[in-house]
């Protein structure tokens, strides 16, 4: 399956809001987990059936429902019915190739981002879609597969005296977004170190795989850029929303989040430009090495041109060549060749061509 675009063959010609899963099935079954809390109580529960968590919506506590797996359309549809989600929202949740964005539906805010991870063995970036529905007292997250970057947030929720336990769903949403963006920056730093290490390899000019590595990192940086630049627009939009779902005390945190995503975007652009510069340096180094080789070959050719000329004259088939009958002609011939070659070497050395 293509990395930059998802195959939308099945959705062609369908009406808006049609529920069709677009993407790759990454887990065998849909898993649901709920965390319900306030400043005094905390409940964590794995749900065997989605409907088992419907009663949490009626409580005054903060409810975080996390769904792993999007391929089971009926179960995702059941979540949408419980939380009264718009059909277009459901369609976007099931489309794992959705562009990062933020939409305000008054009763809730719909957020789409990409969670990314870096495989150190293949040195490739992989992403999965994260959809967040933020309501007044509930927050629902949809992921393509189990395993995420949210464990630090869960640990903070389990600590009774943490800020998150005394805050609402808006601060929980901020915490999840902050964790995603922090992960962006971490992965950019990891890739950045590898990109910077390429410069020494380029200048040495001994590694024949440098060009391949530069092109590979350019591809991964572009893939990363495709996920993070739209996320920057989405977070900027979120920080400017005039919504009652965000308390005044949470707005400064969103502004800080905006600074972090700007930092991530600028770092990507910096490393993208650096890779372009490294490619130019590599081409210059290779061109200089080729020029050095050609210079040596040219010098040898220049030395042998007069030697070949002299050898050619005395290699002719004329019957009368006076020098042929001279007793020391052979020694004189070699002396002349050596003197001419030596004189040319000295000349090239003084010109600093050697």
CA distance 328 to 334: 10
Q: What is the pLDDT of residue 9?
A: 60
Q: What is the pLDDT of residue 176?
A: 96
Q: What is the pLDDT of residue 275?
A: 92
Q: What is the pLDDT of residue 105?
A: 93
Helix (H) or strand (E) holding 142: strand 138-143
Task: Output the tens digit of pLDDT for each of the chain's 354 residues.
Answer: 455 566 666 555 566 767 888 888 888 889 999 999 998 999 999 988 888 888 888 888 999 999 999 988 999 999 999 999 999 999 999 998 889 999 999 999 999 999 999 988 888 999 999 999 999 999 999 999 888 889 999 999 999 888 999 899 999 999 999 999 999 999 999 999 999 888 888 877 677 788 888 999 999 999 999 999 999 999 999 999 888 999 999 999 999 999 999 999 999 999 999 999 988 888 888 888 888 888 888 888 888 888 888 888 777 777 677 776 777 777 888 888 899 888 888 888 887 777
What domains sit in the chain, N to C, each tagged with a CATH number?
16-284 (3.30.460.20), 296-350 (1.20.58.340)
Q: What is the pTM of this model?
A: 0.81
What's the helix, strand, coil split of the chain in %, to 5? 55, 15, 30
Q: What is the pLDDT of residue 307?
A: 86
Q: What is the pLDDT of residue 123?
A: 86
Identify the DSSP state of 269: H
Spatial contact of 110 and 102, defined as CB atoms under 8 Å apart: yes
Best CA proximity match to 123, nearest among 201, 191, 211 = 191
Per the document, the length of the chain is: 354
Contacts of 156 (CB under 8 A, 6+ apart): 162, 163, 164, 165, 175
- How many other C-beta atoms are found inside a 10 Å radius of the C-beta of residue 201? 16
Question: 256-281: buried (b, 16+ CB within 10 Å) or exposed (e) per residue?
Answer: ebbebbeebbebbeebbebbeebbee
Given the structure tokens 């009926």, which residue do they identify? 74
Q: What is the pLDDT of residue 15?
A: 63
């Amino acid at each position: 399956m293509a990395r930059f675009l998802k195959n939308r063959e099945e959705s062609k010609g369908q009406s808006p809001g049609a529920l069709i899963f677009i993407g790759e099935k990454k887990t065998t079954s849909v898993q649901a987990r709920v965390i319900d809390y306030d400043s005094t109580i905390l409940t964590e529960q794995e749900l065997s059936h989605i409907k088992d968590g419907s009663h949490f919506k009626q409580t005054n506590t903060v409810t975080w429902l996390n769904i792993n797996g999007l391929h089971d359309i009926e179960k995702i549809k059941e979540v949408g019915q419980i939380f009264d989600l718009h059909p277009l929202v459901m369609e976007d949740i099931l489309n794992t190739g959705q562009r990062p964005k933020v939409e305000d539906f008054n009763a809730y805010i719909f957020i789409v981002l990409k969670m990314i991870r870096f495989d150190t063995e293949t040195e490739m970036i992989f992403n999965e879609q994260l959809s967040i529905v933020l309501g007044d007292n509930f927050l629902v997250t949809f992921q393509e597969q189990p395993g995420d970057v949210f464990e630090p947030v869960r640990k903070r929720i389990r600590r009774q005296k943490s800020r998150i336990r005394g805050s609402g769903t808006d601060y929980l949403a901020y915490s999840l977004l902050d964790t995603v963006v922090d992960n962006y920056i971490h992965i950019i730093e990891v890739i950045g170190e590898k990109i910077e290490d390429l410069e020494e390899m380029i200048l040495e000019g001994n590694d024949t795989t440098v060009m391949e590595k530069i092109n590979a990192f350019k591809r991964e940086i572009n893939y990363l850029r495709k996920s993070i630049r739209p996320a920057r627009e989405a977070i900027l939009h979120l920080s400017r929303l005039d919504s009652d779902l965000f308390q005044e005390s949470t707005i400064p945190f969103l502004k800080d989040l905006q600074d972090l995503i700007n930092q991530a975007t600028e770092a990507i652009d910096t490393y993208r430009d650096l890779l372009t510069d490294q490619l130019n340096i590599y081409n210059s180094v290779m061109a200089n090495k080729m020029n050095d080789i050609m210079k040596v070959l040219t010098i040898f050719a220049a030395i042998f041109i007069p030697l070949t000329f002299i050898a050619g004259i005395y290699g002719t088939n004329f019957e009368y060549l006076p020098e042929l009958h001279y007793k020391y002609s052979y020694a004189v011939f070699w002396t002349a060749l050596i003197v001419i070659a030596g004189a040319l070497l000295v000349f090239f050395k003084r010109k600093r061509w050697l």
